[in-house]
Structure 1
Amino acid sequence: MGTRDMPLPRQFEFLLGKDRDQWPLEARFIEAAHDGDVRTIKKIAKELDVHGHGIPVTVANTTYMGINALHAAGGRGRLPLYQYLVEELKMDVNKPDTSQDHSPAEHAVAYGNLPTVAYLLDHGADLHQKRQGNVTLLHSAAIRGHSEIVEFLLSRGADVNALSVTGTPLSVASFKGHASTVKILLQHNADPNKGNRLFVALDMALRKSFVSCVKLLIQGGAKVSCASPGDNPLVKAAEKGLTEAIKCLLEAGANANVLDMYGRLPIELAAEYGTREDVEILFPFTSPISTVANWSVDGIISHVKMEIKQLEDGNFVKTRMSELKGQGDEAFKKQDYLKASVFYTQALKMDNFDAKLLSNRSLCFLRMGDGKRAYEDATECAEIRPKWAKAHYRLGAAFMCMKDYNSAYQSLSRALELNPESEEVEKLFWEAMELRS
């Protein structure tokens, strides 16, 4: 547990020690607010009021680590304290703290205090407030699995499909495996297919192996087909050995014949990472693979084991990759980008951490006008080699193809920073700068 996830008194103990007599007066003041102790708040405020501004002014303006009394009050959520701070002292119910950008309502949500959240909304707190990254109160409640607060916020008109840097409230609830919260959001017409590039609900649930959430999302209309290899939910389920999720996806119409970004079918991944049962489930839905001589469950498992054994032979891998890369380069020169991408994919199947192959295939997808797949390869490439200018250049070009000019500008800025002499990077950088909003 990080310090920001701890209740305030524990944070202070962690930072200041357990001897409260040694704490600054401001820290003890904030702890009293956390405990809802109006009497102690006023007592400490009197000690703090060295300039004679009066207790009310001192209470309203005292902070510690960027947090004031109203932020801390969410700890116990005691009504008399809120009445004193909000109704008598007129403290701003929408003012965020300066440490985490959390408003008083955000703090109350974090502590799971529904009555406090209701009180603050009834006294002027903005239901639609957004903190950094466009995170709403509903996102904060959903990611913590506070189902009652989620339902309450929705009843008040919160946007069930609000989009933040980490996706929708449904995305974050799925990522944390809060099945009851996922169910409530879906009942309130959450769109299971809405999200940004990286954070869509079904992908989140599969990434963390939360099968109960996977089932709810599919029942709620999540797409089980994919626009590109990197989006294939069946690949993710097979790779993680999620038998029940595989069954659910197939029943919903998932295509078992879509390759992952490294050229592997779900059934091959099941043979490597899952169980025999997973292979048996996928077998009737999978078209025969030309390289598998014995097309049967046993034949597939044997084929995958043989491939794994070959990949343990460094000389074999080096020779085969060189051949495939050469064939890909030759096809690229002939402007046969589809064929070139196939050869690069076959090579990546042998070594999926080869940044140059990912860069080459990303360029193939760009030439074919497929910005999303180009983006996926460029992202992988940049993760493997974060200080390689070409990786960020490819990423910037992919963003340009998708008309995301702000992101393109950022990626190309990084590429230019790493290679300031590159004319091609500079040219695309200035183009992105002119087009961004």
Structure 2
Amino acid sequence: MAPDASDALAAREIVQQFLNAACTGNVDLLKEFAGKLDEGKGLAKTVADIKDANKRGALHFAAREGQTEVCKYLLEELKLDVDTKDEDGDTPLIHAARQGHNDTAKLLLEYGANPAIASDLGATALHHSAGLGNIELLRYLISKGVDVNSESDAGSPLIWAAGHDQPDAVKVLLEHHANPNAESDDDITPLLSSVAAGSLPCLELLIQAGAKVNMSAGGATPLHIAADAGSSEIIKCLLKAGADPNVTDEEGLKPIQIAAASGNRSAVEILFPLTSRVETISKWTVDGILEYMQSETSRQQEELKNTKELSVPKNSTSLKKELPEVTPEAKKKAAEAKSRGGDAFSRKDYQEAVDAYTQAIDMDPTDAIFLSNRSLCWLRLGQAEHALADAKACRALRPDWPKACFREGAALRLMQKFDEAANCFYEGVQLDPESKELVDAFREAVDAGRKFHSKDNQKPKP
């Protein structure tokens, strides 16, 4: 091996050992490896510049693993930026909150961490605390003045709490005036999220707080979602609160038809006395409704299967294309354009951000991050088709990147193609099972579309 290559490999190994020391909480070892990597820039500068492929540094790793003493050393002695972001826009505080490390999160806040900073997907530390049901950190963050109604691509903290069956967190958020009817970009509300999670305690708390039971997302009401899941107690709770059993979804189906199509007999029996007759179903009995709807479901699934077989490309390899070589100068200019785009995005000047990211893409069409960022800008501008085109191009460049899956799913969700969005989010979850943003987005897309459940259940088993 050439000397230069050998030196580079040795340096990479020291970087890995340095980051491992941050994860394990070994401050002495951390200092030792940092000293070996210092090339005269000074220890603080050296440590700040050491990042992995996802732009995560020692502070990110220490926060994620709950290594409070390492965080204290990095902040107190080296004066690192407490709000430094990784490639996904996650700060050390978000990493600590996501893993439920309360002491670490509190230390970061003591050293000036901004609890209102959100990741690229819009989620703050408060969202993660709500989803985990971490009441201690939830109350602490609220005491710091964090907005309980802050929105992410997957909704408000109350939607996260309700969607993860965290009644204590729901109660705390409602006590601090969280909006029980706040809607996400695809019309999901906390109540709908609680129904999808099968959480009767959360549902009851939200109804008491004035949550609307007859709202709809993707044409489906909470009663449609409950009927699909077959939850008798939740159906009864909704009906008692005034849910209308005769409202139809975007396909003209009532909750009883949804329940029957899913084979939920108990739900059909509860809804039957309260539902007006559907003329297309000749035998208006519990058995007659079940028989008719399951027959219709089987027919539609067969049609869908035939359509999918016809749409499979004959030669998928022909879709691949060669990527151009990009000069160092072009990469530098692309990075500068990306920086301008980030500044414009932070000012919420999304059109200017689009223009900047377009310049970056023109200079370096091989960097998927530029496409991901421009896709998000298009979403903010309500341009779903442009957002989808960029997201697809992003996934073509980096098919194993969870964020690319999220971007495509978000664009499809804005277009109300909920079943396709759910597929994209699910692919992202498979790549990154720990991403609560992807898990929440997947769940909500499934809830809004409903069809994804039945399609997934009908996949042939290997």
Same fold (TM over 0.5): yes
Give the secondary structure class of the aligned counterpart of 1:171.
Answer: helix
1:203 to 2:177 alignment: no
- 1:181-220 pair list within 5 angstroms: 181-198=169-186, 199-220=188-209
- 1:60-209 pair list within 5 angstroms: 60-65=48-53, 66-97=55-86, 99-198=87-186, 199-209=188-198
1:33 to 2:22 alignment: yes
Counterpart for residue 399 of structure 2: none
Aligned residues: 309
Q: Is the 8 A contact 2:63 2:71 kept in 1?
A: no
Q: For the residues of structure 1 that align with 2:199 and 2:70, how far apart are their CA atoms? A: 40
Match of 2:287 among 287, 294, 301: 301
Q: Is the 8 A contact 1:262 1:352 kept in 2?
A: no
Higher relative contact order (CA 8 A, sep 6+): 2
In structure 2, give the amino acid aligned to 1:251: K
In structure 2, give the amino acid aligned to 1:301: D
Give the secondary structure class of the aligned counterpart of 1:260.
Answer: coil
Answer with 304-313 or 231-240: which moved more.
304-313
Give the secondary structure class of the aligned counterpart of 1:268.
Answer: helix
Going from structure 1 to structure 2, the CA distance change for 1:228 and 1:162 (only over 3 Å counts) comes to closer
- Alpha-carbon offset, residue 293 of structure 1: 5.8
CA RMSD in angstroms, aligned pairs only: 3.5
1:273 to 2:262 alignment: yes
Q: Is the 8 A contact 1:142 1:170 kept in 2?
A: yes
- Alpha-carbon offset, residue 32 of structure 1: 0.9
Counterpart for residue 224 of structure 1: 213
- Alpha-carbon offset, residue 353 of structure 1: 11
Q: Is the 8 A contact 1:268 1:300 kept in 2?
A: no
TM-score (norm 1): 0.62
Q: For the residues of structure 1 that align with 2:194 and 2:84, how far apart are their CA atoms? A: 34
Counterpart for residue 6 of structure 2: none
Q: For the residues of structure 1 that align with 2:179 and 2:276, how far apart are their CA atoms? A: 32
1:411 to 2:385 alignment: yes
Going from structure 1 to structure 2, the CA distance change for 1:83 and 1:263 (only over 3 Å counts) comes to closer
Give the secondary structure class of the aligned counterpart of 1:131.
Answer: coil
Counterpart for residue 321 of structure 1: none
Q: For the residues of structure 1 that align with 2:296 and 2:63, how far apart are their CA atoms? A: 59
Going from structure 1 to structure 2, the CA distance change for 1:313 and 1:135 (only over 3 Å counts) comes to closer
Q: Is the 8 A contact 1:239 1:270 kept in 2?
A: yes
Give the secondary structure class of the aligned counterpart of 1:135.
Answer: coil
In structure 2, give the amino acid aligned to 1:235: H
Give the secondary structure class of the aligned counterpart of 2:180.
Answer: coil
Going from structure 1 to structure 2, the CA distance change for 1:122 and 1:311 (only over 3 Å counts) comes to closer
Q: For the residues of structure 1 that align with 2:88 and 2:70, how far apart are their CA atoms? A: 22
In structure 2, give the amino acid aligned to 1:411: E
Cα deviation digits, residues 376-411 of structure 1 (max 9, x gap): xxxxxxxxxxxxxxxxxxxxxxxxxxxx9932x442
Q: For the residues of structure 1 that align with 2:246 and 2:120, how far apart are their CA atoms? A: 41
Going from structure 1 to structure 2, the CA distance change for 1:168 and 1:192 (only over 3 Å counts) comes to same
Give the unaligned 5+ runs of structure 1. Answer: 1-20, 319-349, 356-403, 416-437
Q: For the residues of structure 2 that align with 1:414 and 1:71, how far apart are their CA atoms? A: 31
Counterpart for residue 263 of structure 1: 252
Match of 1:239 among 228, 237, 242: 228
Give the unaligned 5+ runs of structure 2. Answer: 1-9, 309-378, 390-462
Counterpart for residue 4 of structure 1: none
Counterpart for residue 332 of structure 1: none
For the pair shown, the structure with the greater C-alpha radius of gyration is 1
Give the secondary structure class of the aligned counterpart of 1:267.
Answer: helix
- 1:330-345 pair list within 5 angstroms: none
Q: For the residues of structure 2 that align with 1:178 and 1:290, how far apart are their CA atoms? A: 41
1:248 to 2:237 alignment: yes
TM-score (norm 2): 0.59
- Alpha-carbon offset, residue 42 of structure 1: 1.0
Going from structure 1 to structure 2, the CA distance change for 1:239 and 1:60 (only over 3 Å counts) comes to closer
Going from structure 1 to structure 2, the CA distance change for 1:283 and 1:28 (only over 3 Å counts) comes to same
